[in-house]
Amino acid sequence: MIYAFIRERAEYPPAKWAKFFKVSRSGYYAYLARHEARESEKAATKERVKKIFEESEGTYGPDRVCGVLRRQGFTASYDKIKELMEEMGLKSIHCRKKRQRSLTLLLVVVCGRGLKSGVRFARGGVGGKPPVLMRLLTRCRMFSLCVSKFCLSTF
């Protein structure tokens, strides 16, 4: 932070600022070298991202651009690519719908006593009891269990 301040303020030589802030001049010049290298790397990454985005005709978002960069052998994090794409104003023409990615399943259970919906299926029970779904099914003589594409019927 101090080194960035010194770099921005050219009214006085860096040696005077270093003495004022009680930091070393060599530290400041090392910071300058790192800063220039980072800026050139950022510019090169921006060019790569823009090229990949244009080759995809605007269909790739930051996740796919990041994957292509990694396959090409470059180091790329999703957050950094997303930030660079926002800076350059690149946005995919596809809007993906967000979907739930949890491990719990919402089930619909039709049993002899009526329709029960929204029953959560869990692997194990709580406090030594069997899971909620298993307790429900043991009370019913006939049931039909449907989960999205999978349907199990027992009569």
Q: What are the extents of the domains in the chain?
A: 2-88, 105-154
Instruction: Give dist(CA 32, CA 28) in Å, integer.
Output: 6
pLDDT (0 to 100) of residue 100: 59
Q: What mean pLDDT is predicted for residues 6-23?
A: 88
Q: Which residue has the higher pLDDT, 104 or 90?
A: 90
pTM of the entire structure? 0.52
In the predicted structure, residue 8 carries a pLDDT above the cut 80: yes
- Comparing C-alpha atoms, which of 34, 23, 24, 31 is closest to residue 7? 31
In the predicted structure, residue 111 carries a pLDDT above the cut 60: no
Instruction: Give dist(CA 81, CA 106) in Å, integer.
Output: 35
pLDDT (0 to 100) of residue 98: 62
**Cα–chain-centroid distance for residue 103?**
18
pLDDT (0 to 100) of residue 149: 40
Q: What mean pLDDT is predicted for residues 130-155?
A: 47
Instruction: Give dist(CA 152, CA 90) in Å, integer.
Output: 46
Task: Determine how many CB atoms are found less than 10 A away from the CB of residue 59.
Answer: 11
19-48 residue pLDDT tens: 899 999 899 889 989 999 999 999 999 999
